[in-house]
Amino acid sequence: MREPTTAEKASLTAGAAMWRTAAVPEADIPSFTMSDGPMGIASGKVDERDIAALSPCAMSLGASWDVDLARRIGALVGGEAVERGVDAVLAPNINLARSPLAGRAFEYFSEDPFLAGVLGAAWIGGLQSTGTGSVAKHLVCNDSETERDRVDVRVDERTLREVYLLPFEMAAQAGCAGMLAAYNKVNGNWCSEQHHVLTTIVKEEWGYPGLIMSDWFGTHSTLGTINAGLDLEMPGPARFMGAHVGEAVEAGQVSAERLDDAARRVAEMARRVTGSKSVPYTAEQAQDLLVEASAAGFVLLKNEGDLLPLAPGAVSRLAVIGPNAAAPCFQGGTFAKISVSPDLATPAQAIATLYEGGTQVVFEPGVDPQPRLPSMPARPAIDIGDGCTAGMTLEYFASTDCSGEPLTRETRNTNSIVWFVGVHEQGPFDQGGSVRASGYFTPVTDGEHAFYLGATGEARLFVDGDPVLTTSEIDAKDVMGKLKSGDASTASVDLSAGREVHVVIEFHYRPARVQGLWYGVRGPGGREELLARAEAAARDADAVFLFVGETSDSSVESKDRADTLLVSDQLELIERVLAANPRTAVVANVGHAFDTSWDEKAAALISAWYPGEGFAQAIAEVLAGEREPGGRMPVSIAKSEADYSGLNLIPDADGVLEYAEGTRFGYRAIACSGGKARHAFGSGAGYARFAWSEVRVEGDSVSLTLRNLSDRSGSDVVQVYRDDPEPTLVAFAKCEVAPGTDQRVVLPLRRRQFVTWQGDGWSPLGGRFDVRVARSAEDPGTVLSVDWEALG
């Protein structure tokens, strides 16, 4: 094996393709392949046919407060990567839920950096136990999506180090193979050019030996990027790095040592993640784990009169109501979206199966389950011999007007399609061309049908040859923004039930790195009729399970939310159902903190987050009492939006977003203001009940005895906070205890959690100080005195 040349070293600093790095075989440096995450292995082609296991979102894992579970889920995702030939996964996402409006809050473990860091590190350990590399993201302060490609986050040094960098510090300690630099700026510099963060803190102070790469298309210069400490530009081919770095070295603008460091880090990661691999779970074990993990994140926030659990046969008639019972939101809408089996059960189906025989179960959606972009139920216009009987026929043309012979054809049973240059070869997406989508749609009712159309270029939709919709041409620089927004135009056509119509969409595009097309059709349906049927079903039932929440396009990449409310139709549904039957358990299928001011009228409330593909079985078994709802709140739900200190995510005219609240957001802000949350950070309960006793300090640890007072197994979460200079989680443990038994719990206290950044260095609290052992951030708990010298 020889030493790579300067040109070869430079080539390693840029990707070779969309998801693959460069190789130097003569120097024993292989390329490695990456995939997006973190909820599973996302198809690099964003193709619904590339089915993979879908785990609970990070917020759901955060709600579990279960370190071992996070590790096992990481291992499951790692095994999926091995089976698909993926060497490294862009995950976990260890940014923080600073605001409940953040579009990707569901991808974050918590509003608390310690909880996020501990669980993120465990997930990393699990993933990397399979031989797959973890690339922790997004370094740093990419905690919102509004104008993320230009926003300049202004944050003080104490807050940066104690809060936003802490999860990355813990990821580094866990040995993550790489880190992904974010799109945004921090204190005036692009994250890919943040020398203070990338080099001074991460590489020098932490001694991090791994690779730091850019987010996709997240670089802006050659010298600023390589000299700041970024090692790898993605994707390839190179825009600013690669050969440009070699030229800069020759010109004396970049030191040979900096190039050597970058190339070495890329080479070491390549060798590391292309080594031996393992798959830890069988398919059956993986499915069992996904159901377990889903239930572990469910947070029981209210249970008046012990409505839950409701065993099969306990009531004669049960109404299952709500859009998310039949169209659950398994995940959010990012480019890391996982393609799941179309045969996944819904909560309504799982509940009906579990309660069959003992209880009559009726279902009503109450409101439209697809409020933003409905599906396009169609059969292909052309039989291309692929055996597909559902979906649209797609034809790809080199021409810009769908003329001539198509280059290729395929059937796509989806209504949202994305093509990346270098990944999809069906059309000349980087040169300009066209796509025709065609199929036959059969209405089931008479009346006005709304057709939807969106695209990254000029598109036209025809029904039986008549033009119905047209989208406008888009400049290449605006393509990604249009794609991420997912906005669609609509127009109505009067159709007759049972009479098939021919739907054709012609899409013409200019050259760009990515293209997208999305469409749908919504039949006539009276909003009031849906609500009235749900209200009647609730009134006639002995109990109600009401499923509300979001769709997968409610939480999207590059777009934050306007408020914390559920959509207005669902709020009306909640009001009418709760008025019709107070014996209602609400299941909120929402991936972030949200307004629950309506919950006072509900008998029970479960926050289910985005729970992955195990949702249906897990929620049916939890409602029936066959499993415990094992979660505690990983975020605070405030009484009003004004109580969220970091709520606003819109940068000013100069692109600046001030983190003016400093370290005090989430539960810290609420406590320091003297207020109370509607549902506090760390709060929640299972069906089992526990007593705590003998709470004391033992050397460098806090210990206590947990006693399960119930006749069923259950878990409790012990939390330790320091309250100076503001409430801060410093230790926690989730403990499973058998019925009627005791368990001694020991929680180590580490000095790292009892220091603050002052001036230009870390300052210990020192001497003696208090810690609070509690069930939530607002629980008075038991206050103990701790000696700094005794800490580990």
Burial of 758: CB neighbours in 10 Å, binned 0-12, 13-18, 19+: exposed
Ramachandran angles phi, psi of 577, nearest 5°: -70, -45
Burial of 184: CB neighbours in 10 Å, binned 0-12, 13-18, 19+: buried
Ramachandran angles phi, psi of 2, nearest 5°: -105, 165
Q: Is 613 helix (H, G, I), strand (E, B) or coil?
A: helix
CA distance 73 to 80: 11
Residue pair 660/156 in contact by the 8 Å Cβ criterion: no
| Active site (annotated) includes residue 446 | no
Residue pair 232/210 in contact by the 8 Å Cβ criterion: no
Beta bridge partners of 584: 544
- In 236-368 the beta strands, taken as DSSP E runs, fall at 299-303, 317-321, 360-364
Burial of 238: CB neighbours in 10 Å, binned 0-12, 13-18, 19+: buried
Instruction: Spot the catalytic one: 36, 215, 599, 716.
Output: 215
Look-up: residue for tokens 């953040």? 102
Burial 254-290 (b: 16+ CB within 10 A, else e): beeebbebbbbbbbebbebbbeebebbbeeeebeebb
Straight-line distance from the first to the last Cα atom of the chain, in angstroms, rounded to the nearest whole number? 45
CA distance 685 to 732: 16
Q: Is 718 helix (H, G, I), strand (E, B) or coil?
A: strand
Residue pair 231/262 in contact by the 8 Å Cβ criterion: yes
State the pairing for strand pair 178-181/501-509: unpaired
CA distance 66 to 82: 25
CA distance 693 to 528: 54
CA distance 645 to 250: 50
CA torsion sign, 624 to 625 to 627 to 631? positive
State the pairing for strand pair 178-181/211-214: parallel
Beta bridge partners of 770: 785
Q: Which helix (H) or strand (E) holds 228?
A: helix 223-228
Residues labelled as active-site residues: 215
